[in-house]
Amino acid sequence: MEKAAIAFLDILGFKGIWQNRNSDDVLEIMGGVGTTIQNTYKQPPPEKGWPKSELPEITILSDTIVVVIKSDEPHCIFLLANIVYGLYRYFWNANLFLRGAVSWGDFSQSDSTFIGPAIDDVASWYETANWIGVVLTPKTNYLLDRFPTTTIEINGVQVPPFIKYQVPDKANKKHHLYALNWPAYLQANYKLPGSEPNDKVKMLMFKMFSEQPAFNSSILEKYENTLQFVDHSLDDFGKRNR
């Protein structure tokens, strides 16, 4: 088996997309996933002592996107964070959202068949959360806890790729997990702190939610849980960059 950081990403609302969108449009959206991943993958220079990682590999299984970065060291989890955020922005342009999980460990792959403990781990968690968001599996959380505090620089602002949060699941239980810090990524990509109100990120979410087809109470709960996470992330962002 090989070691890798693995993301399973569920495209929310994809199963009913054929009722509201032309099939050619859907295929065009999915056809751009590979290019998006290539454009957002950034391998740190070797002189910085970053462990070697292979180029990301992608597999699309209906409404699930699988992204794999092979590496003997778990640092590739942080490289995967940038890719997932890039996919977030890409699908936002199509008014689609992602939910998922990331794991690191042993796996084997043959074409679109995946096996191994890391696959079992991520597969058991990627549809658990009741929101728009991506979490590290519990096992991978403990792995990340061993790292020193890690941030990336965006527009001169330091942003932690993952942030701890009480993540809600479908049974209304909460799990203290690292989550992709996508609202902070987005805020840092707007402008430097102080030049734009933090609620610009929230206004973007309001806009996208309002443009969705009519939805039921279970979808509303996902959206409200997401907005609470946006508040948490942006509050942390503001404290770090005062």
pLDDT tens digits, 66-86? 999 999 999 999 999 999 999
Q: pLDDT tens for residues 166-214? A: 999 999 899 999 999 999 999 888 754 444 555 788 888 999 999 888 8
* Residue 165 β-bridge partners: 177
Helix 182-190 and helix 199-210: axis angle, to 10°?
Answer: 110
Radius of gyration of the chain (CA): 17
Task: Give Cα separations from 129 to 23, 89, 168, 223 (angstroms).
Answer: 28, 20, 6, 12
- Which pLDDT belongs to residue 85? 93
| Cα dihedral: 240, 188, 142, 61 (round 10) | 170
- Distance CA(233)–CA(182), nearest Å, equals 8
Across the chain, the runs of DSSP E, i.e. the strands, are 2-12, 57-61, 64-70, 97-110, 113-115, 134-136, 152-154, 157-159, 162-168, 174-180
**Which whole number is the average pLDDT over 44-62?**
84
pTM for the model:
0.91
CB 84 within 8 A of CB 65: no
Which amino acid, residue 29?
Answer: I
CB atoms within 10 A of CB 56: 22
Q: Which two tokens stand for residue 33?
A: 């996933």
Helices (H) and strands (E) in the chain, counts: 8, 10
- pLDDT category at 47 given cuts 50, 70, 90 is low
- Distance CA(237)–CA(242), nearest Å, equals 9
- Structural domains of the chain sorted by starting position, each given as residue range(s) with its CATH number in brackets: 2-240 (3.30.70.1230)
Lowest mean pLDDT among 77-91, 98-112, 140-154: 140-154
Q: pLDDT tens for residues 10-43? A: 998 777 666 667 777 878 888 999 999 988 888 7
Single out the residue of 155, 154, 131, 183 nearest to residue 10, CA to CA: 131
